Amino acid sequence: MRRKEARPSELTAAALELFVEKGFAATRLDDVAARAGVAKGTLYRYFDSKEALFKTVIEEGIVPALAAAEQQLVGYAGSGAELLRTLLAGWWQQIGSTRLGGVSKLVISEARNFPEIAQFYHDHVIVRGRALLRAALQRGIATGEFRSLDIDACIDVIIAPLLMLCIWRHSLCVCGNDIDPGRFLDTQFDILVNGLLAAPENMQCA
Amino acid sequence: MRRKEARPSELTAAALELFVEKGFAATRLDDVAARAGVAKGTLYRYFDSKEALFKTVIEEGIVPALAAAEQQLVGYAGSGAELLRTLLAGWWQQIGSTRLGGVSKLVISEARNFPEIAQFYHDHVIVRGRALLRAALQRGIATGEFRSLDIDACIDVIIAPLLMLCIWRHSLCVCGNDIDPGRFLDTQFDILVNGLLAAPENMQCA
DNA sequence: TAGATTACTGACCCTTCGGTCATTAACCTT
DNA sequence: AAGGTTAATGACCGAAGGGTCAGTAATCTA
């Protein structure tokens, strides 16, 4: 069957699954082709090399998800805490629980071997994500809703559990230790907001 | 030069560096041997296979660090917050900033290919680490110092940034984005404690 | 110092896998 | 239907690298 249109995305989808599961070096192109229901030679009609396939997998996985994530935030008008919750929930729906979650684990695993891909991921994902969080934190601090903290460090502290959740679901999940994303994110948000607020919701001023 | 005693640890040290840097599959035994100042054949005098070397690297990296970490906690008598700070600081000194930090990244990257190693890491590191944190949280909640939260979810939320800090330092560090561990941990602790406390330190009850 | 032991070497073997290409067959055009 | 175009194949190549082993030399024993 000849399917010129659909082939590239079928191949990158198959490649992403195997790269996330086995890592770049341990993934065989024969297996990628087989999973896409195609012979290995066909792969080279659409991609110049294994590394070219890898780059396409990363870029194609990131770009659409990024656009969706940023779209969600334009013109948002609410409290810092509400904005944070929207960001976290949106991130989980648009990124964490989707294909992009696997991409994160993949990039982290292979960053040392592919510095330019790490750089691409840094510039197009991490920097943009940090910018969104910075806006939320600055708004909260400016209004006095949040305490005045080291914003850049806060951003990393907020991002880390999110990335870790992705990684967990794509690696250590193999042992019984499966995290419940809902509980995890709720608790993360709870601690986070109470840790940031100048006047926590639960405080008892008797 | 014949160095029967020192060889195994020299080889595992070299292997750990390369595994963390390149991943298991992409690391060549010739390179491991070369870094240890030895020929490849020598490697097979001490290890049966590449995979056996891998297992030894993980286990040998974990066991001593674990013992030290648990030792630190026996008979500790302080508030929940103090206990938490001691745990985080101790974790960084004993584990995060040492060789074990690289082991975490390595295990996460290769967990899918080596389920039994993931299981070993889960049973000997994650379970024990969770037990330590559980004790600290339970103490804080029992005395009314901390709010009553979902303890298991809290544990994951606390652990995630720590693991992420390790991973960061061993992968995404390649782009300019180097995290300052001190600032990161201080901020993490600050948000964490204020998020957990029933009566935050900074609250203003005028 | 002669002989036994064993840590160590590195050339070699053999499988695996990224990459190629002559051939085939599906589709299009007229 | 004939001829042209191109998607798709899979046998093949060559390099890479895990693993082996006959040989070497350092160390030990007497």
Would you report the helix, strand and coil content of chain B in percent, each value rounded to 5?
A: 70, 0, 25
Q: How far B5 CA lies from chain A's nearest CA (Å)?
A: 32
Pick from A29-38, A97-106, B44-53, B71-80: least confident: B71-80
Give the residue from B9, B114, B7, B94 showing the smallest Cα distance to B51: B114
Q: Which of residues 40-59 of B touch A (CB under 8 A)?
A: none
- pLDDT above 70 for B138: yes
Please answer yes or no on whether B200 and A200 come within 8 Å at the CB atom.
Answer: yes
Task: With cut-offs at 50, 70 and 90, classify the pLDDT of residue B202.
Answer: very low
- What value does the mean pLDDT take over residues A179-195? 92
- What value does the mean pLDDT take over residues B33-39? 97
D10 C1' to A38 CA distance, Å: 11
Pick from A20, A157, A187: CB nearest B149: A187
* β-pair partners for A197: A146
Q: Which nucleotide is at minimal CA–C1' distance from A42? A: D8
Please state, for a pLDDT cut of 70, what percent of chain B lies above it.
94
Q: Where are the alpha helices (DSSP H) in B27-124?
A: 29-35, 40-46, 50-71, 80-91, 99-110, 115-121
Q: Which of B145, B172, B180, B193 to mutate to test the interface with A (most CBs of A within 10 A)?
A: B172
pTM, rounded to two decimals: 0.90
Task: With cut-offs at 50, 70 and 90, classify the pLDDT of residue B203.
Answer: very low
Please answer yes or no on whether B21 and A119 come within 8 Å at the CB atom.
Answer: no
Query: Residue B199's pLDDT is what?
Result: 61
Query: Residue A206's pLDDT is what?
Result: 33
What tokens were used for B105?
Answer: 């990244």
Range ranked top by mean pLDDT from A101-105, A136-140, B43-47? B43-47
**Chain B: residue nearest A180 by CA?**
B153
- pLDDT above 60 for A129: yes
What tokens were used for A76?
Answer: 């948002």
Task: With cut-offs at 50, 70 and 90, classify the pLDDT of residue B107.
Answer: very high
- What value does the mean pLDDT take over residues A30-58? 97
Range ranked top by mean pLDDT from A109-123, B29-43, B98-112? B29-43
- What value does the mean pLDDT take over residues A29-34? 98
Helix (H, G, I), strand (E, B) or coil at B146: strand
- pLDDT above 60 for A200: no
Q: How far A110 CA lies from chain B's nearest CA (Å)?
A: 8
- List bases, strand D, within 7 Å of protein CB: 6-11, 16-22, 26-27
Query: Residue A199's pLDDT is what?
Result: 61
Query: Residue A204's pLDDT is what?
Result: 40
Tell me which chain A residues have a C-beta less than 8 angstroms from the C-beta of B119: 174-175
Please answer yes or no on whether B154 and A192 come within 8 Å at the CB atom.
Answer: no
* β-pair partners for A146: A197
Query: Residue B200's pLDDT is what?
Result: 53
From first CA to last CA, the distance across chain A in angstroms is 75
- What value does the mean pLDDT take over residues B144-166? 93
Tell me which chain A residues have a C-beta less than 8 angstroms from the C-beta of B164: 160-161, 163-164
- pLDDT above 90 for B99: no
Tell me which chain A residues have a C-beta less than 8 angstroms from the C-beta of B195: 190-196
- List bases, strand C, within 7 Å of protein CB: 6-11, 16-22, 26-27
Q: How far A162 CA lies from chain B's nearest CA (Å)?
A: 8
